[in-house]
Amino acid sequence: MSSRLSLNQGTVRTATLAEALDACVEVGVESIGVWRDRVEPIGLDEAARRLSDSGLRLSSLCRAVFVTAPEGPERRAAIDENHRAIDETATLYAAAAAGSTAMLVMVAGPLAPGERDLAAARGRVRDAIGELESHARDAGVRLALEPLHPMFAADRSVVSTLGTALDLVEPFPKETVGVIVDTFHLWWDAQLAADIARAGREGRVASYQVSDWITPVPSDLMLARGMMGDGHIDFATITRSVAATGFDGDVEVEIFNQEIWDSPYVDVVRLMRERYDALIEPYLRSDES
Amino acid sequence: MSSRLSLNQGTVRTATLAEALDACVEVGVESIGVWRDRVEPIGLDEAARRLSDSGLRLSSLCRAVFVTAPEGPERRAAIDENHRAIDETATLYAAAAAGSTAMLVMVAGPLAPGERDLAAARGRVRDAIGELESHARDAGVRLALEPLHPMFAADRSVVSTLGTALDLVEPFPKETVGVIVDTFHLWWDAQLAADIARAGREGRVASYQVSDWITPVPSDLMLARGMMGDGHIDFATITRSVAATGFDGDVEVEIFNQEIWDSPYVDVVRLMRERYDALIEPYLRSDES
């Protein structure tokens, strides 16, 4: 492959799958991370056909639904939904160009209403992975647990650091369950280099996602990410750490940002490629000086 | 002492020192954490006199200025300013009721403009403490480094976890340099219990500050704190961890929140006391069941 850059569809949130694929082809981006809610309007078969026609690799399917609900109908529905998401990942992956891994992104989920026990909620994440793992293995899909920034600990992900994610996935086969290193979520952590090295030793680096931390922090925290180079993150250092693990997969750019969403798709993808080529790609090679 | 509750003046941000002291006396709060910018309008001598007249303890002076500027005039001015803050802490402490420790709160500071090297910035924090430590020791003042939530890593504190704070203060005498456990900043951390225990073993727990994490997160992150009980934090567990270290100092309530700032001071202090008595105080006793 000539470039490992992948457009996560979240970066062009308002584009249809067809529009996102076209923008990638036009700019020479060879891989895409697909969102399920962009597949739903056209159906899985049509999405698979379009992906196949595009010639792109599939770097991930985003994403499994939250799995922190306590036992009961809500939890059962979430597990069922994630079984379907595993099958969708396998179907889309089979239609995509070769060279990537079939991967389903998992975000843990929030505390239950009124709950204050983070450890218990994390335990429910582990239990959910335990319920899904054998199906994922049979389907040839890797589950990739993504720790989110601690500012989302109450309402989106009780898993906030790479170290915590690694602890949670420890009981499961590394071939089926990995973790995601996302710069926006993890850049601040003084343990990050050590935890990335640990993830490498334990064979858990499933994906590397890049976007920047910008200030002042936008008022909607969900839309607080920036294009690489517009913020404070040291991509050279983090990328070197990831490369040193032997990670050789696609690198996803996932940016939730209203200004970027309001820009023409092709312009966004072109800028993304420029920044990736300048700030990320040089440090992915183990022989870079 | 009958209660270890302390009002951090940040909780009644618009009150003068006199108004804050009066509210404490009226509600039976016996200790206060004073802000330098509330001392400045009346001068240090007058502030000391009012503090003495109130009969309250001084739980801390807030705060030293940021110390992450690279070497140069800005850094020299910050170090000088913090030498003055050490002296002010000693002066105010001498005027306050006995039973607390003279303590100056330190918040690390941001990355330098354009800088992306968190490790280097953290090194400058350590260097600054090294410059201030002997003066603090001579003045009988303890420097208390407060890790802030990772969402402030770029623009307010490159020190984001208790573990990182403990690593930074390691070279210095524990009597003169400690760390602050603040629930709002640290509650999400799966390593928190272990790090509090480590802080205890290493004799570094200088202060325990409490406020809650509320959702949805207010758009101004600086004003995102809530009254204990209004959010997601498990105060029982964290307070037990702090108590288990043998910490026997005052417990500060520090809440930056516009709605609270807009309420009558005495109402705020009364509510703070009710919540403290229900949610914190029972877990401070090592013999609680």
Task: Give which of B250, B238, B122 is closest to B185, Cα–Cα.
Answer: B238
What confidence tens digit (pLDDT) does each residue in B192-243 have?
999 999 999 999 999 999 999 999 998 889 899 999 999 999 999 999 999 9
Contact across the interface for A190 and B163, Cβ inside 8 Å: yes
Say how far apart CA A70 and CA A114 lie, in whole Å. 12
Q: Which residues contact B133 (CB under 8 A, 6 or more apart)?
A: B143, B172, B173, B176, B177
Instruction: Please give the pLDDT value at position A289.
Output: 43
Say how far apart CA A123 and CA A11 lie, in whole Å. 31
Give the DSSP per-residue string, A166-190.
Answer: HHHHTTS-TTTEEEEEEHHHHTT-T
- The Cα of A191 is separated from the nearest Cα of chain B by a number of Å equal to 9
Cβ contacts of A125 on chain B, cutoff 8 Å: none
Question: Is pLDDT at B288 greater than 60 in this prediction?
Answer: no
Residue type for A261, please? W
pLDDT band per the 50, 70, 90 thresholds, residue A285: confident
Paired tokens of B8: 């951090």
What does pLDDT average to over chain A? 96
Instruction: Please give the pLDDT value at position B1.
Output: 53
The rounded percent of chain B whose pLDDT value lies above 70 is 98
- Tell me which CATH homologous superfamily contains domain A5-284: Divalent-metal-dependent TIM barrel enzymes (3.20.20.150)
Q: Residues A47, A23: contact at Cβ < 8 Å?
A: no
Residue type for A168, please? L
Query: How do A225-226 and A212-213 pair as beta strands?
Result: antiparallel
Cβ contacts of A231 on chain B, cutoff 8 Å: 154
**How much is the average pLDDT of A217-234?**
94
Q: How many CB atoms neighbour CB A1 within 10 A?
A: 13
Q: ipTM more than 0.90?
A: yes
Paired tokens of A158: 């009780």
What confidence tens digit (pLDDT) does each residue in B37-96 have?
999 999 999 999 999 999 999 999 999 999 999 999 999 999 999 999 999 999 999 999
Task: Give which of A109, A135, A136, A137 is closest to A123, Cα–Cα.
Answer: A109
Q: Residues B112, B121: contact at Cβ < 8 Å?
A: yes
Mutant choice from B122, B145, B151, B186 vs A, greatest count of A C-beta within 10 A: B151
Mutant choice from B111, B115, B117, B118 vs A, greatest count of A C-beta within 10 A: B118
Contact across the interface for B187 and A219, Cβ inside 8 Å: no
Q: Which residue has the tokens 């309420």?
A: B263
Say how far apart CA B98 and CA B95 lie, in whole Å. 9
Strand partners of residue A212: A226
Paired tokens of B50: 């009012």
Say how far apart CA B167 and CA B202 lie, in whole Å. 11
pLDDT band per the 50, 70, 90 thresholds, residue B285: confident
Buried b (16+ CB within 10 A) or exposed e, B91-113: bbbebbeeebbbbbbbbbbbbbe
What confidence tens digit (pLDDT) does each residue in A160-188 have?
999 999 999 999 999 999 999 999 999 99
Strand partners of residue B103: B142
Cβ contacts of A191 on chain B, cutoff 8 Å: 161, 163
Instruction: Please give the pLDDT value at position A219.
Output: 87
